[in-house]
Chain A
């Protein structure tokens, strides 16, 4: 197995005002292998989400390095960063974050559209991704017409549609009941097995963590 993601000695400080700041990450280092399914656990405020956002190129760091598939990505800006978010990483959030005015199919196709695909190609890829999460019969439903578990499956399809190397999940089961939660985790495992997509999941749920290949524990902004 080769290394897909490498974070080296990452520091991140959030400055609220002149004398008020939070050191969210204080030298966090982590390595994730290609095809791995990794859970990130730790108490609230330990820097799990911050690490996930920085590894996923949604946030900047103050010092340290982030490598993705052999390329240093923390130094990228603007267009390169946008291209990387489109094609190489996918995100799933605790609150699903679907666009409420769009149907399930349109939500998934949106990511394909942003990646530069035409309408027809976007729709086809979106249908395929929705089939992978078992929602072929829900194309025309809006988010408010879907259950929490179904919404999260749409979100997984959206993360999956551009065939990224890695999908980051920030508490993906945090807003779901246990049955939906199990279903979502099972889906992610199946995708991981079938397509070799790497998963990095921040979670509070020990049950979810248990099913992963490996658990990374965090405390006070470091990987312990």
Chain B
């Protein structure tokens, strides 16, 4: 309590200093929550791709291609030694004209569900059950799309003008599946064909269409080596191992992280400088008081502790209010963007605790010089100070 009273002796000045820290922490929370969201997305992807090989049509650089493959290739791939199972997949945008979006766009995923028991990336269900190959006309909805599609288990959702029955709603995974809708391969093939130009459409067999294969290696087979083996053995496809995801996605997000955190740290350093300024002024204003305290028996350590407590209190108040404002701000923005399915921010516990701890440490470090300066004063010199 005495610390608080001392801190608020010069209300406007302390308010401005706290405000400086608040803005710094606010920047850290907003920028950090953006980075955390992307990090989790990437971490989920890294985990998903870590033990499997993805096969797409040759000539496409990315694993997110929507170029055509023939389901017939499955048998060729399966024949490669080290392959345990091959699953044909259709992945396409939920909205064909959804435009650019930040992070993952909502996806429509269809699969033949082969090798499900080999899948290490397990999804649990908040409601309902998982999809089976017999569930034609039914879908499972990812957590972030529930509101947008007004999905209810037992109810139906409209996708591309058609009604589908909802059999399950997935738990939040904090990564790509949150913004996906799953359906059976035949349903997905039908939707996919609508996007194919009419001239091409007539020449392909709808039931043989896939955009990618997920290849599960046998136990003990390195997915990277298997990808190379598939590329050598099967023509017209491009197999990629886990490192491709790392290269394409994870590394670029690191630069993004650095920029985001860089901006936040700079604003905090400015806040820290204003704590040094405030505490230095406070110490010189209270020189007489320091002299009195020493005259009545305060040790150097007790003086240092007092001023450090005041400086870290400024950091704490600034940190907590920055976190609170930041949290409210990102929650509101997320809420406002919910219908467009853009989920920009995620305040993780480590970000919340980390930013407050950082603010307190900043206060402590900034208060160190003024506190030591205060403690080293000679009592009489301090008492004579006018």
Contacts and interface: CB of A to CB of B under 8 A. Distances in A.
Interface residues of B, number: 21
Interface string A141-157: 00000000000000000
A87 B2 CA distance: 23
A91 B2 contact: no
Given A59-B378, A99-B292, A101-B9, A93 B297 contact: no
Interface in B1-16: 2, 5-6, 9
A94 to B, nearest CB: 10
Given A97-B288, A99-B292, A101-B6, A53 B297 contact: no
Interface in A76-95: 78-79, 82-83, 85-87, 90-91, 93
Nearest to B378: A59
Interface string B1-37: 0100110010000000000000000000000000000
A114 B288 contact: no
Contact of A85 (B288, B289, B295, B383): B295
Contacts of A86: 296-297
A101 B297 CA distance: 18
Contact of B294 (A85, A115, A159): A85
Nearest to B4: A101
Nearest to B288: A97
Interface in B314-337: none
Contacts of B6: 101
A110 interface: yes
Interface in A93-136: 93, 97-102, 106, 110-111, 114-115
A102 B297 contact: no
Contacts of B298: 82, 114
B297 A85 contact: yes
A58 interface: yes
B124 interface: no
A82 B289 contact: no
B297 A162 contact: yes
Contacts of A158: 296
B353 interface: no
Contacts of B379: 58-59, 85
Contacts of B297: 82-83, 85-87, 111, 114-115, 162
B292 A114 contact: no
Given A97-B383, A114-B293, 20 more contacts: A53-B380, A58-B295, A58-B379, A58-B383, A82-B297, A82-B298, A85-B296, A90-B296, A91-B295, A97-B288, A97-B292, A98-B292, A99-B289, A99-B293, A101-B5, A101-B9, A114-B298, A115-B297, A158-B296, A159-B296
14 contacts: A79-B299, A82-B294, A82-B298, A85-B296, A87-B297, A99-B293, A100-B9, A100-B289, A101-B2, A101-B5, A110-B296, A111-B297, A114-B299, A114-B302
Interface of A: 53, 58-59, 78-79, 82-83, 85-87, 90-91, 93, 97-102, 106, 110-111, 114-115, 158-159, 162
